[in-house]
Structure 1
């Protein structure tokens, strides 16, 4: 690192633009002071963890899937023991589906293999794009989970959960 003096100015020639500038006259770099203006640090979280606003959108979506799974487990009990649920952003073959002009799936079922339990995967982005309100989101997530559980149990969705399809499908 080299320094050059030019009439009262100090110019630093460095290899990286992220190198911290020398502290002059008690000044700190912008990155060090933009959140901590008076040296006290952050005073605390804006929202406490138990409050609903403290959770991210993806965590709230995960909660909706969990609520639907718990509801069906209360109804079906032991039949749901070897079933697990997962949430992914988008289906893995989304590009192929879009090229073929097909709608992306809202959820997918993968049967049990060897020691792996059967898995129902709910896709977050396709569901979010097809809903406008929180109530619609809750219903579409539950309907997608019910449809996949119906496939797992070899029953109709209405037999799995009587509240299936209350909302108009998109």
Structure 2
């Protein structure tokens, strides 16, 4: 038997996939997708950072029925532009790793398209509108 069932120990030392947390696996997938989507647009996006938060902070007067999956934060005195992904709502909507990767691709492409002011289909060839 192999995999996460072993947990941390001599058969799954720190650094191997079995010892990785759910959030570490999410971060890896998000970074991989982000690199692929953003690479052709580096000249227009500048030093766009990727951040991951567990859940969004929803204001008291929130009237939308859905929870945001991501947010774009403009460049400010505190730091550069940042794309923030909300891990728990994204994971909740995905049944597995492949579905999570597809959802992350969709969310990141749509956020980048909005920032660039172009159609999402032009940002990445793998994008499929719902």
* TM-score when normalising by structure 1: 0.64
Offset at residue 50 of structure 1 (A): 4.3
Q: Which has the larger radius of gyration?
A: 1
Kept in 2, the 8 Å contact 1:48–1:54? The answer is yes
C-alpha separation in 2, matches of 1:81 and 1:51: 33
In structure 2, the gaps of 5 or more residues are 1-8
C-alpha separation in 2, matches of 1:131 and 1:94: 25
> Are positions 1:87 and 2:49 aligned together?
no
Aligned partner of residue 48 in structure 1, secondary structure: coil
Which one has more relative contact order, counting CA pairs under 8 Å at least 6 apart?
A: 2
C-alpha separation in 1, matches of 2:60 and 2:52: 19
Greater per-residue strand proportion: 1
Offset at residue 126 of structure 1 (A): 0.7
How many residues align? The count is: 122
> Which ranges of 4 or more aligned residues in structure 1 deviate by more than 6 Å?
none
In structure 1, the gaps of 5 or more residues are 1-43
> What residue in structure 1 maps to residue 128 of structure 2?
165
Aligned partner of residue 49 in structure 2, secondary structure: strand
Q: CA separation of 1:106/1:51 partners in 2, compared to 1, >3 Å: closer, same or farther? A: same
C-alpha separation in 2, matches of 1:95 and 1:60: 32
> What residue in structure 2 maps to residue 153 of structure 1?
116
Offset at residue 101 of structure 1 (A): 5.3
C-alpha separation in 2, matches of 1:47 and 1:86: 28
> What residue in structure 2 maps to residue 73 of structure 1?
38
Offset at residue 46 of structure 1 (A): 3.3
Greater per-residue helix proportion: 2
